[in-house]
Amino acid sequence: MQKKQKTPLLLAGMGVGMFAFGFALVPLYNLVCSVAGINGIATASNQAFISASTVDYSRKVTVEFDSTLNAGLPWKIEKPANKLKVHPGETHNISYRATNMSDKAIEVQAVPGITPWQATEYFKKTQCFCFDTQTLAPGESREMNIQFIVDPDIPQQYKTITLSYTFMNTDRSNT
């Protein structure tokens, strides 16, 4: 085969390969997150953990709450109380309140983070607004709920966990 014929075939093959790789990234990301316990993705094993856990009444862990709006996002976020003291193993429900301050509907994805990162595997979210995108109409406000549990097996050294959310506009043309 001549060099001129190989080049288009090679480029077409690379294009198909890049498309396939991009298409596979989301399932691969979800698999890695569920195996590693990153981002608190609710899995069947988390659900089994919740039903089998016991409460450790001998100690408390402080859970702090934080939120950040990505640049230019015209939303107002009211987080729950700054901190909550919880017994490991107890189920807790809290909510953030979001208000769209703009004159158009905006779809947002909340990206969670846990600090210290080593405590991520001990913080289990069983329900969370961050599992799905959130759309608010102009001027609309909504309570966005989270149900979580701190694993009773959390090491004693972790006395404080910070749950933070970064709210990002999913419409990249408005950034």
- Specify if 148 maps to a domain: yes
Q: pLDDT for 82-111, tens place per residue?
A: 889 999 999 999 999 999 999 999 999 999
User: Does residue 37 carry a pLDDT above 80?
Assistant: no
Which CATH number characterizes residue 62's domain?
2.60.370.10
| Average pLDDT of the residues in 127-156 | 93
More confident residue, 84 or 8: 84
> Region 60-78: what's the mean pLDDT?
92
In a domain, 62, yes or no: yes
When divided into structural domains, the chain yields a total of 1
Residue range of the domain that includes 58: 38-174
Tell me the β-bridge partners of 122. Answer: none
Instruction: Let me know if residue 33 belongs to a domain.
Output: no
More confident residue, 1 or 160: 160
Residue 121 reports pLDDT greater than 70: yes
Q: Looking at the domain assignment, is residue 22 inside a domain?
A: no
- DSSP assignment of 101-157: -SSS-EEEEEEEEEESGGGGGGEEEEEEGGGS-EEE-TT-EEEEEEEEEE-TT--TT
